[in-house]
Structure 1
């Protein structure tokens, strides 16, 4: 039996070493450069978009991935075996044992990493869509022709399953990076939404992770009174400072969520400092 009682102290120790986070920002905003704010010896970058040119001098390890099947295997090595999975399914005991036996050196290297930086979830869904189109589920049983709805359904199931598996990775912080796109409707109203293949993945991701952050450009306005602190104004086109938006219901209309309750409305673009703030022991 795998059921057990977890004490408050055990739960607190686990929470201090484990956070799941989704980080969004416009293309070219510098999301990948935030790798430099994480401890390189403890961080592994899962490079799905061949986008590490901006961090050539970052001394940490990375794994380039170009196929969704490889992303599934790496997620299995990171998250371990799922005891609920059937032997023939992804993330099963058999799948995990096979990978550790055939890729022992890689598995041992992954075991030394405490932070997993997935760059990017946008490309992960694109790879998943390319894979899904080759599967029998993506063909109509009646006509044998491609079935787009079947492909999207398979994409959603597999990607959400992968994300949830990484969510349960023991003792690890997992950061999913994604592109945020600006959408202007017919009434000239602006909204911001994650760029992914398959709307279901984008809708469910905020419920999977602990934290949702958006990185964007801001300008600083002086305070209203002599003792008032300056305020940050969202200025995505001309701003001169990068900030991380951390709270839901923010006045900027940007995706954000803070399950820890410890982050300010905006924070400096430093993931190391942010994780320290989230995981600091509570007083009293």
Structure 2
């Protein structure tokens, strides 16, 4: 029970990798708080996790993140583990990128994550652990992925800086960077038909040395490792969970 009596906040914990991680934290003794944008999926997630608290909050809304942190402060007084998992995808080649699509992706995947961390870290202290979801898309050249890659690449850069700032406070900050994971996010790519999504999955699998997509529970295991004392001498790391896709390409 690596997280017995720990207070854990999973931002973007209502589906996919976030939900799998929230369930796993609770199974190891944590009290879990989770956020999401869809109230129905939040309610469904909370129903699966004994003692969990759910909050409707868009990570792009900085005031909403502050409200969640203030609610946890009033109830528990601290956050021991923070997992920032909220994010959106979307593919568009250079000629199809719009200012609005750029701003939307960056407001969630970069700006929102940075300010959510800023708000939450005030409730963290020595022994605290932060894990942020990155992506191998930040490190690979995938046509049509420019906007997403820029946001996740920026997130990787600033998280290394923040890890250096927090290390003297005894707070560790690491990143987990998934490859192709079969999550609901894959099926919510704006402008992509079912046929296009199926083609994208086929192309992803063809490029994975393990010849399959990953599962949310496999990412959750990596998240819990980095968040736990098993990783007590690890900070500023970026752990690829991608079936060898990046390093064996």
Give the TM interval when normalised to the shorter protein: 0.3 to 0.5
The structure where helix makes up a greater share of residues is 2
Q: TM-score, normalised by structure 2?
A: 0.43
The structure where strand makes up a greater share of residues is 1
Bigger radius of gyration among the two: 1
Q: TM-score, normalised by structure 1?
A: 0.39
